[in-house]
Amino acid sequence: MQPSRPHKRSRRALTHRERARCALRGEQPDFVPHFEIEFQETGRDFGGRTLFGLPGEPDRTGLTALDISRHNARLRTDIAERFDHSMVVSTFTPRCPGRTFEEESIEQIKLLRDLVGDDRMVLGGGDPTYAIPGADMEQFVASLFEEPQRMKDEAQRRVDETLKSFAAYRDAGAEGFVLWSDYAFNSGPFLSPDMFAEFVTPYLKQTIDGIRALGCYAIKHTDGNIMPVIDQIISCRPHALHSLDPMAGMDIRLIKERYGRQVCLIGNVHCAYMQTGTPQQIRESAEYAMTHGKPGGGYIFSTSNCVFQGMPLKSYDLIHAIWEANRDYT
């Protein structure tokens, strides 16, 4: 990434898509872009519509797979328009009988591309790299020690398959990809830095190199305290780093000072405050993120995770108003 610099001004306002591109390149657009990696809480502003693929999804009776894809694409587009998001992400692709995840993702991306036109960036999602394991944690850890080559072979297979899918998503209209494997708890990474360097970093680098070769943008998401491995992540050259989790002590001021000329930063608005905090706590977190993320460009405003189901939308209204009041560079 080049040092942050103002985008060359034109007489017309930039589109949301152009703003996102500027920020992802480390440049300074006319104002700070805004987006959410996921927006699950839609009950108030969107006629009670809920995304298929989430708990409490609408009744599928009588609906075809295309009906479901159209519903999700339309709702995602309405969310982006309502809250001025510069990018829209194809996540929570609902599984329909007889269709693969890749087929459904391609259809969703095409629908989103048609709906948002040239105004917003469309992103796909996936991540082949090893994340914090779920129920099989003990077996996963044992395999790293007992069968390291098999685990590396599996990591390579996943990278190769993911990049094939990403090429298809690019051809369908995706301009970038969210890599969503979580690497860390609040206390620190699941793997030690040495093990991370062995089992994650080479495969993350291959994935990002492959995304760049497709002419697309790579946004690396991970929750938790990633400071012990952040240098490794940055060395893989993602265009952006999300979510800069303040609940894990990730301080956007420090990260901007150290890495702001190498990677676009996204997030840092405290999600726990968005759920249970006071308006003052929410305001302070949003203003802190804008104050320290915005200068010089290379920043996209968002929460530190997503707008999950049950989050009071009045909290989101508050940070949206703070963004509107402070977004301009001129």
Residue among 134, 112, 135, 132 nearest 122 (CA): 112
In order along its 330 residues, the chain shows pLDDT tens digits of 544 555 555 557 899 999 999 999 999 999 999 999 999 999 889 988 999 988 888 999 999 999 999 999 999 999 999 999 999 999 766 778 888 889 999 999 999 999 999 999 999 999 999 999 988 899 999 999 999 999 999 999 999 999 999 999 999 999 999 999 999 999 999 999 999 999 999 999 999 999 999 999 999 999 999 999 999 999 999 999 999 999 999 999 999 999 999 999 999 999 999 999 999 999 999 999 999 999 999 999 999 999 999 999 999 999 999 999 999 997
Query: How many angstroms separate the CA atoms of 233 and 129, rounded?
Result: 12
- Whether domain 5-326 has CATH 3.20.20.210: the reply is yes
CA atoms within 13 A on the CB side of 119: 10
The domain locations on the chain are 5-326
| 3-state SS class at 110 | helix
State how far the Cα of 185 lies from the Cα of 63, in Å rounded to an integer: 40
Conformational region of residue 295, where left means phi above 0, alpha means psi within -120 to 50, and beta covers everything else: beta
Cis peptide leading into residue 243 (ω within 30°): yes
